[in-house]
Amino acid sequence: MNKLAASALAATLILASGSALAFHCPADMKKIDEAMSKNPKLSAEQMAEVKKYRAEGETLHKAGKHQASVDTLAKAMKILNVK
């Protein structure tokens, strides 16, 4: 493989992993929304936390900070006990 092909491949891999992550956030947000629509048995405090993380996750996602978004949404999902 020549140098150009190698770097093109590397760029494709980076792009692919980035977009896989970019796709991760909306999927997590959807899971959170679905869990919330089912009236989960949470305290008012937990509800507020889930909503906060959900909003933060969306903001981070829109800012292109997908890893931070996934991490933040994971906290909401943990409270909701969804995976």
Question: Residues interacting with Cu ion, by CB under 5 A?
Answer: 22, 25, 61, 66, 69
Cβ at position 36, least distance to Cu ion in Å: 19
Shortest Cβ contact with Cu ion: which residue? Answer: 25
Cβ at position 45, least distance to Cu ion in Å: 27
Q: Which residues contact 50 (CB under 8 A, 6 or more apart)?
A: 32, 36, 42, 76, 79, 80
CB burial of residue 40 (10 Å; 0-12, 13-18, 19+)? middle
- The residue among 34 and 71 lying less far from Cu ion, judged by its C-beta, is 71
Cβ at position 53, least distance to Cu ion in Å: 14
- The residue among 42 and 82 lying less far from Cu ion, judged by its C-beta, is 82
Instruction: Give SS3 for 83.
Output: coil
- The residue among 12 and 59 lying less far from Cu ion, judged by its C-beta, is 59
The pair of structure tokens assigned to 35 is: 């869990």
